[in-house]
Amino acid sequence: MFSISRGMLYNYKNNRVRSVPLTLIQKAIGLLGVEPNELNKHITRTLSSHQVRKFGLDFGRDIRINQLKSFKKGIPSVTEIMESGSLNLEKWFFQYKKLIDFGSRQFQNVLTLEDCLELTYTNYVKGNKKIFKVILPRKIRVDDDFLYFFGLWVGDKSSGGRLGVINKNKELNLYTAEYLKRLHQKYEFILYIHKNVKNPALDYKIDKVVRINSEQNGYAISVHAINGILKSFFDYLDADLDEFLQVMPKKNVFFAGLFDAEGNVCLDTRRFRWSCKNKRNIKIFSKHLKELNLFHRFDGCNLNTKNKEIFSKEILPYLKHPDKINKANLLCFGEGILPIRFKTALRFILDNPGGKHKIIAKALKKGSVSNMITFLERNGYIKKEGYPNRIFITNKGVASLSHGGKDI
């Protein structure tokens, strides 16, 4: 490193080593009596101080951009870090480190432990330089837990430098915490809730409550670890999502995690749907769901399938969201607890036997109940008699109501 004074550095920064201030020239020609027109013949270029600084900064930026591009080319592909059923995160990190080990962030130490890397680096927080220490797993085993977590994360990822998931469901939140622990991460539970909404009754610990003012009056819980570098690794996998799904041994488990994050079971139309509005992901998900025989069409908001046989074998066994498991069982096997609106319809049919579609729809304040009635009939909760059809509840329907809507 060259030793250079602060004053001289200022001159280099503002390009004054290779230029002369215009005020100094004007003062000199005034003392020497030189005609301005004569002087102009010998001036090659006149620049403002802003232009001079911009020229220097742009020149430096171009050098740095080209350097970063060359570093980025060195980052291995997903296929290249897939080794013996694991993702070699360590191999990725030492290439990625070149992109971030400069400026405000500088690595002080990288310690290799048995199954993880301990990183120590400096960075600025609110104008103050601080030391940070984070842990990275050296390898991530590509098993069902990883594939499910990655699908869940793609659907409901936390923002910023946090690796985690935002969701309301207890089972998904606790699962996220356990998997982050497996990655050697310290996690936290943060409740984000509208300022006018009461805190929900939860039977697990919340580390922090953040009141927000938004159009949404509900709440969500973020379960995450603060680790921007590990988050960048997951972003790297997401950036090459198509290649990732091509090399994964059981991508159906990924789509199970994605379903728990963004999926829904529509009992009325007998469909399973993955919500998606990202154009890139729509294309990628459609391609791989087709390969699993789980894609029927895209309706503008959802990727739909009617294939309950494949869904029950490839997706349902890996779901963790209780409500989605229940509805999937109802659709696939006719077993489970009926949603409230179906129980409400059954109760009305029990109290008003022999009603018609229009009567039931009017009582439930719905435009149509045809799909709901079809579902209940297909699963033996009601029966139709005569023409035009008159609707009656069956013994199964009565038994279901007596057990809170549960199929028996």
Q: Residues 104, 184: one domain?
A: no
Indicate whether 299 and 387 sit together in one domain: no
What is the count of structural domains for the chain? Answer: 5
- Here the tokens at position 123 are 């960075």
Domain boundary among 118, 139, 160: 139
User: Using N-to-C axis directions, what is the helix angle for 395-402 and 340-351, rounded to 10°?
Assistant: 120
Both tokens of 313, joined, read 């074998």
Q: What is the length of the chain?
A: 408
Q: 395: closest CA among 404, 90, 407? A: 407
Do 231 and 248 belong to one domain? no
Asked whether residue 328 falls in the same domain as residue 363, the answer is: no
Give the domain CATH number at 356. 1.10.10.10
151 part of a folded domain: yes
Whether residue 92 sits in one domain with residue 66: no
End-to-end CA distance of the chain: 79
Same domain assignment for residues 279 and 304: yes
Judge if 124 and 151 occupy the same domain: no
Residues 6+ positions from 302 with CB-CB distance below 8 Å: 264, 273, 274, 275, 276
Is residue 177 one of the residues assigned to a domain? yes
225 plus 157 within the same structural domain? yes
Contact criterion met (CB below 8 Å) for 223 and 128: no
Any idea what the CATH number is for the domain that residue 200 is in? 3.10.28
- Does 230 map to a domain? yes
Contact 379, 330 (CB under 8 A): yes
Q: Give the rounded distance of the alpha carbon of 159 from its chain centre.
A: 8
Structural domain boundaries, residue 187? 142-239
Choose among 77, 135, 128: nearest CA to 109. 135
User: Is residue 407 in a domain?
Assistant: no
Q: pTM higher than 0.85 for the full model?
A: no
Would you give per-residue pLDDT tens digits along the chain (408 residues)? 455 676 666 666 666 666 667 677 777 777 777 776 766 666 667 766 676 667 666 656 665 665 556 556 678 999 999 999 999 999 999 999 988 887 778 899 999 999 999 999 988 888 788 899 999 999 999 999 999 999 999 999 998 899 999 999 999 999 999 999 999 999 999 999 988 888 888 999 999 999 988 777 789 999 999 999 999 999 999 999 999 999 998 999 999 999 999 999 999 999 999 999 999 999 999 999 999 999 999 999 999 999 999 999 999 999 999 999 999 999 999 999 999 999 999 999 999 999 888 999 999 998 889 999 999 999 999 999 888 789 999 999 999 898 766 665
SS3 347: helix
In a domain, residue 249? The reply is yes
Residues 235 and 252 in one domain: no
Same domain? 173 vs 152? yes
Q: Do the Cβ atoms of 339 and 327 come closer than 8 Å?
A: yes
Domain CATH for 257: 3.10.28.10
Last residue of a domain, one of 213, 239, 265: 239
